[in-house]
Amino acid sequence: MIENPFSIQSFLEFLKSKKVVEGSIMFAMGALMRNFIYKVSDNILTPLSKGEFKKLKEIKYELYISMLFGIVVSTYVFYLFYVSVDKMYDIAI
């Protein structure tokens, strides 16, 4: 049983037991992937399905490469955040 409900240790136990950090990381990654998938769907897949091949030549593919790079960097930052929270939990116990 938790002796002091207002302590850092009890807060970290709450984060760990309810998987709050994992859930928020998944939510943020889902938002990043959603934006990328919508862009690809609207700008690449829709013109392909309609046979509008001229629109494909007008697309700036650098945007998609930079979005993928942003997703990879964000994933790494989320990983570092998760590891730091996990180590904080191990230190507090």
Give the residue, 37 or 3, on which the prediction is more confident: 37
- pLDDT, residue 48, reads 92
Residue ranges of domains in the chain: 8-92
CA dihedral 82, 88, 89, 92 (to 10 degrees): 180
- pLDDT, residue 38, reads 96
- pLDDT, residue 46, reads 93
Percent of the chain with pLDDT over 70: 95
Band of pLDDT at residue 75, cut at 50, 70 and 90: very high
Average per-residue pLDDT in the chain?
A: 89
Contact 67/36 with Cβ under 8 angstroms? yes
Contact 88/14 with Cβ under 8 angstroms? no
Supply the DSSP string of 21-72, one letter for each residue. HHHHHHHHHHHHHHHHHHHHIIIIIHHHHHT-HHHHHH--HHHHHHHHHHHH
Give per-residue pLDDT as tens, 4-34: 878 888 888 888 889 998 999 999 999 999 9
